[in-house]
A and B are shown apart, each in its own frame.
Chain A
Amino acid sequence: MSFITYVISGISLGSVYAIIALGYSMVYGIAKMLNFAHGDVIMVGGFVVYSLTSSMGMPPIVAVVCSMIFCTILGVAIERIAYRPLRNAASSLAVLITAIGISYFLQNIALIIYGSSPKIFSSVITIPPLKLADGALTISGETVVTIAACIVIMVGLTLFINKTKAGQAMLAVSEDRGAASLMGINVNGTIALTFAIGSALAAVAGVLLCSAYPSLSPYTGAMPGIKAFVAAVFGGIGSIPGALIGGILLGLIEALSKAYISFQLSDAIVFAALIVVLLVRPTGILGRQIQEKV
């Protein structure tokens, strides 16, 4: 029975990683850049909801929508100001370093505004926990909502990319940016749209992260952001279903290695598992194998 409880706590943790990884993976898949500031956009999303609900007394749903709008604008602004000017820079490392810079920038802004004392975030989810096996097993409402949200977002994104014109443009940009622009696709606009969607997803992820683990500080997004990045690589970065699978697997490995191997080593075991997966399948579990033509 306790094994099942550990599995459930792994899935809860994993579902949070998964929802963050979705945004990571989508932005990488299309813009081909690692947006390390994603974790911090999540933190911003959390703080917006916290401010709106606790100090202005807005209903949670309205606050979540406001937070999504705010993060969308923030994401597009970051892309426009920090990433676009560097897109044609000689080294792709330039954008990576900028992303790290943005990440610290957002953390420090939050430090100035909110201070670094942690806030306890009151959950926006009111669904009662699922009780199984006569109450011996409990799955929290947050976990149920997070998993449901992951699936909805995954299906939604897949449909959007495959069925809409804008989605097709994204695919084209991700395949070959130069050729796409020759075909009359607005590359800058498409990438901005990608960031807009990715940041809106980050706001949702932030709310769910803080609802599940209710401590909110300017560093809240940093560690989950890294774990989610690992999850995205695990599942095959760029692959949207891969992000979900990678996130859940990561949460499970973390929880089970805590329970059965060692508390102190659990993070190391997560990374060891990543290395093993990458040795066997260099593009991750669901990653596309790309044939390079010589």
Chain B
Amino acid sequence: MKMKKLLSMILVAAMSLSILTGCGGNDGDGSTTGTGTNDGSTTDAGSDDGSTSDAGSTSNAGGASGSWKIGGIGPTTGGASVYGIAVQNGIQIAVDEINAAGGINGVQIEYKFEDDEHNEEKGVNAYNALKDWGMDILIGNVTSAPCVAVAAETANDNMFQLTPSASSPDCAKNDNVFQVCFSDPNQGIGSAQYIGGNALASKIAVIYNSSDVYSSGIYERFKSEAANQSFEIVAETSFTDDSNSDFTVQLQQAKDAGAELVFLPIYAKEAALILTQADAMDYHPLFFGCDGLDGVLAIEGFDTSLAEGVVLLTPFVADAEDEKTQAFVSTYVERYGETPNQFAADAYDAVYVIKAAIENSGATSEDSVSDICDKLSAAMTQIKIDGLTGSDMTWAATGEVSKDPRAMVIENGVYTEFH
């Protein structure tokens, strides 16, 4: 009897611990701040998108100070920190340029960036912290999962949100959220068309993260578009956040199926392990990824020679010839000591998009958060931007951007345009 009791206890303990570590992976101290009800003054008023009335009088603590308070949120620590830091720096450069040139309509920008560790709860906490600071406009989040969580809050508050790089369509579901980067469906379709159109391979394997919205979103659209293309998907394999260290089974299946190209719609952390393990098993297909792979070269301790020849679809190429890109890259290298990736460029563009939208709409920093949001949302569909990540970028009311993707290849440890 005693043994049975002990065993059941062990099992319960094992189960509860596995639940605990499930949250543990995301590091859970998010209990202190509730979701979006932090000070009562800002929340419920703007829940209706069209409401410009009483929301305004209560919700704008910061706008009255005579500057544009732009907040940014992204992971500056954690597994996705390469993206968050790039965005933080990219915004900073654009903000400094605009302020030096006299601000937006003569009003200076104040800028503050908060860390979300690529975690939903921390993202909402960061958003609340920025709201307390008096934020008018949000640039964020950098990654999809926290962006979806924060987008629900900004919709409640009717806060204008422009995400530089969160690509899930769920991020831009609400009318107040716009994207600078491609959405996941577009990346999936774009990748399939690029591989098919350039005849890069005829047999393709996919390794995706089934527990991640970004990765599985791209994969689903890639798969449906693949039916229209000349290549064949010979191995569909996946992993989850709980089993993301051993990829030999996935790679072996790809190898057995004779895949010439492995499509990796995943983030750089796992990609680094996949490249290492593929090399150890002497398997050298063409690896093809989306913007999540951007940053693989920046992982601490990673042998970058393993990433030679990796191709990724991304709208920004650091060695592009145009003057704008060159100026941005040289400023970035000078200030932060490394070549900017696509995320930095997306973030830089985001600030200029906001500037253009403000100038187009005639919103002022004295307006309430909710008024600014309504004016900017209307202006977004009318502006056309020539940025670092694409020329003639335009937006649909759904929040999705339209621009052309470009492919890059990693050669000698740097990104170069793929031909």
Contact = CB atoms under 8 A, between A and B. Distances in A.
A binds B: yes
Interface in A69-86: none
A115 B78 CA distance: 7
Nearest to A258: B249
A255 B20 CA distance: 25
Given A118-B299, A138-B280, A215-B269, A223 B243 contact: yes
Interface in A1-39: 2, 5-6, 9, 12-13, 34, 36
A123 to B, nearest CB: 10
B117 A116 contact: yes
Nearest to B236: A263
A138 B251 CA distance: 13
Contacts of B246: 9, 12-13, 213, 255
A283 B4 CA distance: 9
Contacts, number: 129
A104 B24 contact: yes
B256 interface: yes
Nearest to B24: A222
Nearest to B3: A290
A63 B299 CA distance: 23
Contacts of B18: 226
Interface string A215-228: 10101001110100
B273 A100 contact: no
Nearest to B29: A108
Contacts of B252: 2, 5-6, 9, 259
A253 interface: no
- Which of A9, A233, A278 has its CB near the most chain B CB atoms (within 10 A)? A9
A120 interface: yes
Nearest to A93: B9
Interface string B333-371: 000000000000000000000000000000000000000
B105 interface: no
A103 to B, nearest CB: 8
B24 A6 contact: no
A116 B79 contact: yes
B280 A140 contact: yes
A254 B243 CA distance: 10
Interface string B236-263: 0111101101101110110010000000
B249 A9 contact: yes
A264 B238 contact: yes
Nearest to A216: B301
A23 B10 CA distance: 17
A264 B239 CA distance: 7
B25 interface: yes
Contacts of A108: 27
A258 B248 CA distance: 10
B245 A213 contact: yes
A255 B301 contact: no
B375 to A, nearest CB: 38
Given A34-B13, A100-B17, A263-B237, A223 B79 contact: no
B413 to A, nearest CB: 15
B14 A120 contact: no
A36 B240 CA distance: 23
Interface in A116-131: 116-122, 129
B7 A263 contact: no
B272 interface: yes
A290 B7 CA distance: 13
Contacts of A146: none
Given A120-B276, A138-B280, 11 more contacts: A2-B252, A12-B248, A120-B272, A215-B272, A223-B242, A226-B18, A263-B237, A263-B238, A264-B240, A267-B242, A267-B243
Closest 9 CB pairs of A and B: A120-B301, A213-B245, A9-B248, A116-B78, A263-B238, A258-B249, A120-B302, A117-B81, A222-B21
26 contacts: A2-B253, A6-B249, A6-B252, A9-B248, A9-B249, A12-B246, A36-B13, A54-B301, A93-B9, A111-B27, A117-B77, A140-B280, A213-B246, A219-B25, A222-B25, A226-B21, A229-B17, A233-B10, A237-B10, A255-B248, A263-B239, A263-B250, A264-B238, A266-B243, A278-B7, A278-B11
Interface of A: 2, 5-6, 9, 12-13, 34, 36, 54, 93, 96, 100, 104, 107-108, 111, 115-122, 129, 135, 138, 140, 213-215, 217, 219, 222-224, 226, 229-230, 233, 237, 254-255, 258-259, 263-264, 266-267, 278, 282-283, 290, 292
